[in-house]
Structure 1
Amino acid sequence: MQETAPAAVRAHFFDGRTSRAWPVQVTVAGAGLVVTHDASQGRGEGDVAPGPVTFPVAGVQWPERSRHGARIAQLPGGASLQAADAAAWDAWAVQHVRRDSLVVHAQQSWRGVLAALAVLVAVLAGFYAWGLPAVARGIVALVPPQVDLALGEKTLRSLDGHLVERSRLPPAEQERIRALFQKAVVRTHGTGGPAWRLEFRRGRPDDPQDKAGTSALGPNAFALPGGTMVLTDELVELVKDDEVLIGVLGHELGHVRQRHGMRQLVQVSVIGAAGSILFGDYGSFLATAPVVLASMGYSRDAEREADGESLRLMKAAGVSPLVMVRFFEMARSSRNGGKDGASRGAADGLGIAFSSHPHDAERIARFRQAARGQEAGDD
């Protein structure tokens, strides 16, 4: 059986005009909170004890119960009450003023705190997985394409100064690959395809003295906002197959068509904005946006969408999706079989190119299934 709390509770009264603390007894009479000097505790720091003062209960800001900390009730007019005994105050307040809320009850329980933390983590994870991409799509739909173009140009200039250098492929070979891909795009989309531009670069050597020219980028292809796609010499030299290049570039065209680069940057910006609210200095993130864009990977859903574009392009061009299976095999061989510096660079480059792609096994299965469907349709 719960004990009945006394009708009065001891506290210290501050009138809000001086720093003097008066020992008082606090009671509730109807809708009023009555504060009476407690003569048994002395006169405090003042000479003249205050008479009984009544405050409307509805106007009092009551403190929440907690495991630690003082209980201070803010009274109308700037006065306040500080409990002399927190436990006695809590028992008195529950019986005579108000009961604890569900939040207060949960705060007193480790189980409640852990449950709230689990719910918070689940909500944040759900927002990151589904809410954030949806928000990014909505924002990107309002962003003019000129913004993508400007950001893509700035990112390419940043890459030119750090990760890549001028291509060594003959200009005629570059134009041949462009024409080959243009033909595949027209077959897929007619004249209404997404705007694109294909640039060729070679990975900048990590060590200028390295005669092998090993680079961190290695065999790679990536799309930038605004329609610019970059194909490295190392990838062209690795695959030596036009049909594979069509499949790889079709994947990058999928990123261009869906504006994945801008969507990803918006998602990172939302996270950065949330961080700036907590930690400040959001301007530094905007200044480094090109570097962030160049180094981050796409989500797996975005990669699946890009693979879908690659499949459409290969089908229209009469290319079997099995060429992408062959590409994955070459990539795996480059990652696992090479021991020299050049091979390590190739492996690292492919790791960057597919940093957040779905697992190879999943993608290979999809391309194999598409090849079977394409062959069945031809029968």
Structure 2
Amino acid sequence: MAAIRARLFDGHSSRPQPVRLSAVAGGVDLEVLDGSAPRERLAAAALHWHEPLGRAVRRVDLPGGRHCEVVSDDALAAFLHATGHRESGITVWQRSGLRVALAIGLILAVGLAGYRWGLPLAARIVAQALPMAAVQAIDAQLLQTLDGSRLLAPSELAPTRIAAIEAEVAPLIADRGSADPVRLHFRKAPAIGANAFALPGGDIVVTDALVTLAPTDAHVAAVVAHELGHVAHRHGLRNLIQASVLAAVVGIWTGDFSSLATAGATVVLSSAYSRDFEHEADAWGAALLARHGRSPALLATMLTRLERAHRTDGGTDDAGGGLGDYLSSHPATAERIERLNRAAQ
């Protein structure tokens, strides 16, 4: 007869009682060792064993709101075998190193697939499903906030220069294949420098420094063509959705939604999406330029000039590859220029 010692908690007092559990035909005998209660016969099916945690004390629930704590050792294993107890499937898996490794591998594979393909697909579907009026309201609020900050100021470009650029860009905007409005905004932005960026709803901001840097208005139009690619694919909204989901996942994983580590991990994970967006916008802009008899080399020239300008202003050189390229939200400039020059050929 297999028997084990245990500590009984009756559900009324925090003081445990030493007991003996004995495997008998048809069930389990519960015997209080100090003789304060009569021997009790329990059906084996009435005992609910909690999952084992290594060699930690194991709990078993008894009828009447009681439970026992038993040391996990060979005696307990023999007792369970004698009572005909069968461990749950998850417990059996946990005891197999190969199965645990397979489960971890499967979880990692599913997680990586969700990160690389699942989340971008879901973000694309959600972004395309949002009504344009709602997205334009986001743009209006963002632009108002930027104009109210020190980042953007009214443009100092001559009205004739702005009109000439708008005329150069107008055929590209008309040929987007979409009726959604696109609005071009010129701003002075010393803190940003030579740059252009698209807001989620079709507002495109071009800085005075970018116009000054461009050899011709056609080069400015080439940069706008790239930004039109971001608008067409709703990259701004998709990036917002993906970054929000990643931040939530990292926060749940780390248990802290406010730490610098959580924010940093989110930025690193989001950077791969941003690089994909840049490649997609480059290809879309190059195709748009080609349809209008303009060479994608115009955009390649502007990328070269922007890289040099940012390097002169104290920025980093992203043309060299390595870890910096991996963490950067933009692909290496040399790689982008090479792709655009191939498209031009």
Q: TM-score range by the shorter chain?
A: 0.7 to 0.9
Q: Which structure 2 residues correspond to residues 328-339 of structure 1 after superposition, within 5 A?
A: 328-336=303-311, 338=312
Residues 58, 133 of structure 1: CA spacing in aligned structure 2 closer, same or farther, 3 A cutoff? farther
Against the structure 1 CA distance between its residues 59 and 49, is the aligned structure 2 distance closer, same or farther, given a 3 Å change threshold?
Answer: closer
Q: Which residue of 1 aligns with 2:292?
A: 317
SS in 1 for 2:64: helix
* 1:141–1:97 distance in 2 versus 1, CA, 3 Å: farther
Aligned to 1:377: none
Please give the secondary structure, in 1, of the residue aligned with 2:294: coil
Cα shift at 1:139: 1.9
Alpha-carbon shift at residue 33 of structure 1 (Å):
3.7
1:53 maps to: 41
Question: Match of 2:204, SS?
Answer: strand
Q: 2:222–2:299: 8 Å Cα contact kept in structure 1? A: yes
Q: Percent identity?
A: 36
Match of 1:37? 31
Is 2:70 the partner of 1:73? no
Matched, 1:201 2:171: no
| Matched position secondary structure for 2:295 | coil
Query: Within the alignment, does 1:344 sit opposite 2:314 as a pair?
Result: yes
Quick one: distance in 2 between partners of 1:86 and 1:304?
A: 59
What letter is aligned with 1:309?
A: W
Query: Which residue number in structure 1 is paired with residue 138 of structure 2?
Result: 151
In structure 2, do the counterparts of structure 1 residues 85 and 165 end up closer, same or farther at CA, with 3 Å as the change threshold? same
Shift of residue 138, structure 1, vs aligned partner: 2.2
**Unmatched segments (≥5 aa) in structure 2:** 259-266, 319-323
Conserved? CA contact 1:24–1:35, under 8 Å: no
CA contact (8 A) 1:8 1:25 kept: yes
In structure 2, the partner of 1:21 is 16
TM-fit CA distance, 1:181: 0.5
Kindly indicate whether structure 1 or structure 2 has the higher relative contact order, using CA contacts under 8 Å at least 6 residues apart: 1
Structure 1 residues 144 and 276: CA distance shift in structure 2, 3 A: farther
| 1:12 equivalent in structure 2 | 7
Aligned counterpart for 1:357 among listed residues 322, 330, 340: 330
SS of 1:49's partner is coil
Mark the CA change 1:304 to 1:85 in structure 2 (over 3 Å): closer, same or farther: closer
Q: What SS class does the counterpart of residue 293 from structure 2 fall into? A: coil
For each residue in 1:45-97, what CA deviation from the matched residue of structure 2 results, as whole angstroms up to 9, or x when unmatched?
xxx32331314x33432122222421111123311111156442244224534
Is structure 2 residue 226 aligned with structure 1 residue 231?
Answer: no
Amino acid of the structure 1 residue aligned with 2:289: M
CA distance in 2, matches of 1:368, 1:94: 73
Give 1:38 shift.
5.0
- 1:268 aligns to what? 243
- Tell me, in whole angstroms, the C-alpha distance in 2 between the residues paired with 1:107 and 1:321: 57
Question: TM-score, length-normalised on structure 2?
Answer: 0.81
- Equivalent residues of 2:197, 2:204 under 8 A apart: yes
Structure 1, unaligned runs of 5 or more:
1-5, 205-214, 283-291, 373-379
In the TM superposition, 1:35-184 aligns within 5 A as 35-39=29-33, 42-43=34-35, 48-55=36-43, 57-84=44-71, 86-94=73-81, 96-101=83-88, 103-104=90-91, 107=94, 116-160=103-147, 161-184=149-172
2 CA distance for matches of 1:346 and 1:170? 31
- The C-alpha deviation readout for 1:9-43, integer Å capped at 9, x for no partner, is 2222233234453333223446x54232154xx34
User: What is residue 212 of structure 1 aligned with on the other side?
Assistant: none
**Following superposition of structure 1 onto structure 2, how do residues 294-309 of structure 1 map, counting pairs within 5 Å?**
299-309=274-284
2:22 counterpart letter in structure 1 = T
1:171–1:77 distance in 2 versus 1, CA, 3 Å:
farther
In 2 relative to 1, CA 345–301 (structure 1 residues): closer, same or farther, beyond 3 Å?
closer
The DSSP-based 3-state class of the residue aligned with 1:299 is helix
Q: 1:93 to 1:252 in 2, by over 3 A?
A: same
**Residue 235 (structure 1) shift:** 0.9
Query: In 2 relative to 1, CA 254–85 (structure 1 residues): closer, same or farther, beyond 3 Å?
Result: closer
Is it true that 1:254 corresponds to 2:233 in the alignment?
A: no
SS of residue matched to 2:8: strand
The answer to whether the 8 Å contact 1:12/1:22 transfers is: yes
Instruction: Give the 3 Å change call, closer, same or farther, for CA 27–317 of structure 1 in structure 2.
Output: same
> What code does the residue aligned with 2:159 have?
P
Give the Å deviation of 1:230. 0.6
Q: Is the 8 A contact 2:182 2:202 kept in 1?
A: yes
Partners of 2:272 and 2:118 lie apart in 1 by: 19
Letter in 2 for 1:51: R
Q: What TM-score, normalized by structure 1, do the two folds share?
A: 0.74
Alignment RMSD (CA, Å): 3.3
Amino acid at match of 2:29: V
CA deviation string 1:263-313 (max 9, x = no partner):
11111222344456675879xxxxxxxxx9xx9895222222211221122
1:321 offset after TM fit, Å?
Answer: 1.3
> Partner letter of residue 344 of structure 1?
G
Counterparts in 2 of 1:102 and 1:362: CA distance versus 1, 3 Å: farther
Report the count of equivalent residues.
Answer: 326
